[in-house]
Amino acid sequence: MTRKRRFWAAGAAGATLALLVVAMLHAGASTHAASAKNSSPYNKPRWWAKYQIVSAPGFTPTAPGKGGSVTVGTNVNVSHEPGPQSETSIAINPANPSQLVGGANEIFRLPMRGYFSSDGGATWGGVDLPLPPPVTNNGFDFGSDPGVAWDLHGNVYYSYIIVFFSNGGAINGTEMAVSRSSDGGQTWTATYFNFESGEAQFNDKPMITVDNNPGSPHEGTIYVAWDNATGSSSSSNNLLVSHSTDHGVTFSAPAVASDTTSGPKAVIAADPFVGPDGTLFVAWHDVQNSAIVASSSSDGGVSFGPQHTVSPTQIAFDFPVPAESSRGALLYPACDADRSTGPNRGTLYCSWMDQTASNATDVFITRSTNGGASWSRPQRVNDDAAGVANDQFNQWLAVDSTDGSVNVSWSDTRNDPTHLSTDEYFSRSTDGGQTFIANVRVSTASTNETCCGANLGDQYGDYEGIAAFGGVVHPIWTDRRDGGTVDGFEETYTAAITTKKQ
């Protein structure tokens, strides 16, 4: 959650227990990460690895915006409005791929922001998402943590949380929200559920998906997953999932997807995704045990089986990369399933960023061909030279359901020797995640969110988004190129990446 951190940094009263454990975990992870980073064995100049590449016989430079079998379109400012935006999400209408909807946090305003396009992302409109009334007189509330998804019938859904405050800034509670639109994201109607009063339990970081498998027994079911925390390593910290079978009008009481055995727990960063047979999977970061884990449901989200380890992690919670050092880059899994008719149908994929001994942070991916029971050895996606402490973070992953390609985008500091400026990068796999094309630079200008009027409390936020359908890919990211195009603050950007048939 982005604005949660900003409000407490500004000195608002009544800080939640959830924030206390976030701060505790953040401090421990940052200390560990900084120590490991300082002990890096790399002792050559930072330009050495590049020198090895460009001085090799037969070296040919790659043109910006092109690589392998993809071409990057124009960078488009989606938001183009005052104030900073951070944490982005995007989705493509499978019934009409020229329609896209995006979302972002508004940092200086209370509502969430929704974006809509009907021309394949060339132009965008914007609209505020609904908020409920405050729960106390003269209080206020805001939304945070966007996620968007379409169904097969032209409806689009936007998940977020609502945080309620008293007039004096004390927490009154949190609530889940899903808004639905049947006109391409131009107008929205909200459903609110799972209200948690006071500070004892906190709803955080929801993500949303829809079962879009024709013939699935749960086709059209909407799933929202989020973490529900007490603010300490408590046995009542759980990863929760609610579902809707009436197009988002109502949502079920939440089911627990995480381990229900006794003992301390700490979970964050859920990502739900659906396999081709309608099985629901949910992945998240098990902070208590430093691992990406996942569980599944075959009955439409009513109940979940045991959780399985996707991969252990080095980072316990987040990592203070130089480009996002004041906030810290959160370790967040982004996963999807191959729902195409191709040879890898049913394969599951998960991506995340993690610390390495000599490369700072990298983006990794793993796959499962047995329904999540076991996962392959993690593979590094970014192809910058090994032994150079570039940072890659805020990755997201999407599988194109029409061709099974695995598409990943992320923020990358390889073009700045100080590692303070980032570019958006992209890669894809067409062989079931076994190999990836040469990384492609998507952004046409770098962004520095560490100085010069940047919003240091939020910077990039905790994640960015990507969507893929019909051979066209749309990453979405936070960007303040040239000091910001409106007022010096962060904007929301995207670009259309077209792919050649393999």
Q: Write the pLDDT tens digit of every residue in 336-357.
A: 999 999 999 999 999 999 999 8
Asked whether the predicted pLDDT for residue 47 surpasses 70, the reply is no
For residues 176 and 206, the answer to whether their CB atoms sit within 8 Å is yes
SS3 annotation, 293-340: EEEEECCCCCCCCCCEEEEECCCCCEECCHHHCCCCEECCCEEEECCC
Residue that the structure tokens 């604005």 belong to: 3
Mean pLDDT of the region 6-15 = 35
Mean pLDDT of the region 193-210 = 90
Instruction: Report the distance separating Cα 5 and Cα 261, nearest Å.
Output: 30
Predicted confidence at residue 387, as pLDDT, reads 86
Instruction: Report the distance separating Cα 64 and Cα 75, nearest Å.
Output: 12
pLDDT band at 327 (very low <50, low <70, confident <90, very high): very high
The pTM score is 0.87
pLDDT band at 57 (very low <50, low <70, confident <90, very high): low
Asked whether the predicted pLDDT for residue 15 surpasses 50, the reply is no
For residues 157 and 210, the answer to whether their CB atoms sit within 8 Å is yes
Phi, psi (deg, nearest 5) at residue 6: -65, -40
Predicted confidence at residue 63, as pLDDT, reads 43
Instruction: Report the distance separating Cα 171 and Cα 196, nearest Å.
Output: 11
pLDDT band at 395 (very low <50, low <70, confident <90, very high): very high
Mean pLDDT of the region 295-309 = 97
Lowest mean pLDDT among 17-26, 182-191, 412-421, 445-454: 17-26
Cβ partners under 8 Å of residue 60, min gap 6 = none
Predicted confidence at residue 501, as pLDDT, reads 59
pLDDT tens, residue by residue, 241-272: 999 999 999 999 999 999 888 888 889 999 99
For residues 168 and 196, the answer to whether their CB atoms sit within 8 Å is no
Predicted confidence at residue 231, as pLDDT, reads 65
Cβ partners under 8 Å of residue 370, min gap 6 = none
Q: How far lies 501's CA from each of 68, 442, 472, 496, in Å?
A: 12, 20, 11, 16
Mean pLDDT rounded to a whole number for the chain: 87
Mean pLDDT of the region 109-138 = 96
Asked whether the predicted pLDDT for residue 230 surpasses 60, the reply is yes
Mean pLDDT of the region 39-45 = 35
Predicted confidence at residue 86, as pLDDT, reads 94
Asked whether the predicted pLDDT for residue 64 surpasses 50, the reply is no
Q: How far lies 456's CA from each of 84, 326, 448, in Å?
A: 10, 6, 11
Mean pLDDT of the region 127-135 = 96
Residue that the structure tokens 């929205």 belong to: 188
CA 347 to chain CA centroid, Å, is 20
For residues 452 and 356, the answer to whether their CB atoms sit within 8 Å is no
Predicted confidence at residue 59, as pLDDT, reads 52
Lowest mean pLDDT among 36-45, 352-361, 487-496: 36-45
pLDDT band at 40 (very low <50, low <70, confident <90, very high): very low
For residue 318, count CB atoms less than 10 angstroms from its CB and return exposed for 0-12, middle for 13-18, buried for 19 or more: buried
Predicted confidence at residue 16, as pLDDT, reads 33
Mean pLDDT of the region 379-388 = 92
For the record, the structure tokens of 87 come out as 């944490």
Does residue 18 sit in helix, strand or coil?
helix
According to the per-residue pLDDT averaged within each range, which of 21-25, 194-198, 288-292 is highest? 288-292
Asked whether the predicted pLDDT for residue 5 surpasses 60, the reply is no
Asked whether the predicted pLDDT for residue 27 surpasses 50, the reply is no
Asked whether the predicted pLDDT for residue 19 surpasses 60, the reply is no
* Percent of the chain surpassing pLDDT 90: 74
Predicted confidence at residue 61, as pLDDT, reads 53
CATH topology of domain 2-44+70-499: Neuraminidase (2.120.10)
Mean pLDDT of the region 301-316 = 96
pLDDT band at 10 (very low <50, low <70, confident <90, very high): very low
